[in-house]
């Protein structure tokens, strides 16, 4: 199992001109994958994922929303969710 640091994301809006944004991909020095693949990796204990903000680690977990499962970091005291605040992957 690899412990992968997430340093970028790709995001999409739920609806045209909507204020709600969601993550479609995550990435780092190890490459870029879809959110669905990262969820499978976490569920099967293939890989773990985390972010670093101001030297503080925040582990990434799978969260069950009303309509779908998605990635979310541990509560780390930073707003907004630090996954959404990461720069876009190239």
Whether residue 80 is predicted with pLDDT greater than 70 in this model: the reply is no
Q: What is the pTM of this model?
A: 0.86
pLDDT tens digits, residue range 51-79?
998 888 999 999 998 888 999 987 655 55
Mention every residue, 6+ apart, whose C-beta is less than 8 A from residue 8.
26, 27, 28, 32, 86, 87, 88, 89, 90
What's the pLDDT at 54?
Answer: 80
H or E element that contains 79: none
DSSP 15: S
């Amino acid at each position: 199992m690899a412990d992968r640091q997430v340093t970028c994301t790709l995001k999409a809006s739920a609806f045209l001109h909507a204020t709600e944004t969601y993550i479609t991909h995550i990435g780092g020095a190890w490459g870029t994958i879809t959110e669905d693949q990262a969820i499978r990796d976490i569920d099967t204990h293939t890989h773990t994922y985390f972010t670093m903000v101001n030297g503080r680690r925040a582990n990434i977990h799978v969260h069950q929303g009303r309509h779908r499962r998605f990635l979310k970091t541990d509560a780390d005291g930073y707003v907004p969710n630090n996954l959404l605040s990461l720069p876009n992957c190239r």
